[in-house]
Structure 1
Amino acid sequence: MYERPTLPDLVFTDADGEPIPYGSRWGVDGAPERTYSRTRHPERFAPLTQVADALVAYLEETYDVDVRRTEGMPADAPDTVRRHEHGQVAIVRTTTLLPRHDACAPLVIAETDFPGIVVAMGAAGDERVPACGCDACDESLEDSAALLEDLVLSVAQGRFQERYTWTDGIEITISGGEDGASYSREPRHAADKKRIEALKQSQRERHGERWMPWPPRRDDADGAWEREPEPMRLWTREEREAVLDAALERVKKLLRSA
């Protein structure tokens, strides 16, 4: 079972020498305007790398997955990781986790020099931890660690799901977390075209099926994981038309040979 590593008890002080209570700094009036463009003490997020390392070790020990570690940005990094390297923020270390079954979502965990962590999930999902890091957002190390854990474990447990449709665009759902389900939607006209194409290709390869939970690690390295029987589903219009076309061709051939 995964256990969070012990986080250091970091204390940072303000101009008056008072400890800064990250996570509960601002009252009902909200954060001062000047704090939206300022990030003091980003080093408080440095222990997130320990959490990320513990998560990778847990996944490698628990699931049937291939793990590849790369210094910097790997050559085949998905766009969901690349788009987080901009300005003065760079990817310094990347871990790619590929479950040994195509029905399971891949996962990329990348460390930035902010410091922070980028999590790329499936074909189009990506999140940055901390989500912002500015003084106004007032994110704490503990809350950021919990977010990182939920993102990563949601992929392995099959709680992360994504889909693209012409009418709804990109929809991403993470169910069953400590804070309940989360849902996000990007309309087709606003979503990144590369993410759309990656998700459409993924859906074609999976025949529109949901991402499955990662298979557990097997003692026999050559053992094959058998997927549970898939639930019955209705055919799409394209599938029905393809079956009818094939049947008509067979009838035509029989008539020509009669």
Structure 2
Amino acid sequence: MTDPTTQPVDPEDLIRRRQVDPAAGDIDAPPFSETYHRGPVILRGPMIPQDSTTANLLKAEQSTDWLHMDPWRVLRIQAEFVDGFGALAELGPAVSVFGSARTQRSDPAYRAAQRMGALIAERGIAVITGGGPGIMEAANRGAAAAGGKSVGLGIELPHEQGINEWVNLGMSFRYFFVRKTMFVKYSSGVIICPGGFGTLDEMFELLTLVQTHKVEPTPVVLFDTSYWQGLFDWITGTLEPRGMISPLDPELVTLTDDPEQAVAVATSTIR
């Protein structure tokens, strides 16, 4: 009789037997008998979900926790960029005017911002502000009264009053960083009037981008010398001697008390 252990083995038969019985050979059979495809993702074994993507989508009742998760936030952020680019792409040359929302209409800074908004609009250049009250309202008011493009890019805040009534192109944002991107992308010059933390944030963000050559050189004007001089005395008297900035950095800005000069500098690169 022929010893069965000496019979030649059919390789294909061995593979089939190993898939059914891992003990039939030296190589273990694949441990997973099913494969689930979720888009480009392959799931097997315990990773296979109980419900399909379509079934989850069509459930009548489910938790709304997903509305507050990061993947959904990414879509909202993307939508804000798309909406902002779409709204401003055909705006043309523009100058941003920053300043406090708390400035009263009787304040000389309010009247100066209103004058600067009008002067910018008279040059056929759009005025962009944060869309709120105070300095922002003043610049929008001047631009609208001069028949120009008066843009307000607002932000959702609990205490804000919404877009002021002198804006003729407005948009509100959820995210500060999206809003600031719109300011930088569509402004060829900036005038910064007296303001608080928000104004300082916008100013230093822009100066950092210009200093690090992330954007084209942009004229930056600080209006109201007495308000800003102390800050720049500290910059030149403390930061520069300790090597935190180069001697050229303070030259990134122009300080003035003259609305006409502020507008002339801010629009100097616009043909």
Larger radius of gyration: 2
> TM-score normalised to the size of structure 2?
0.24
Bigger helix fraction: 2
More strand by percentage: 1
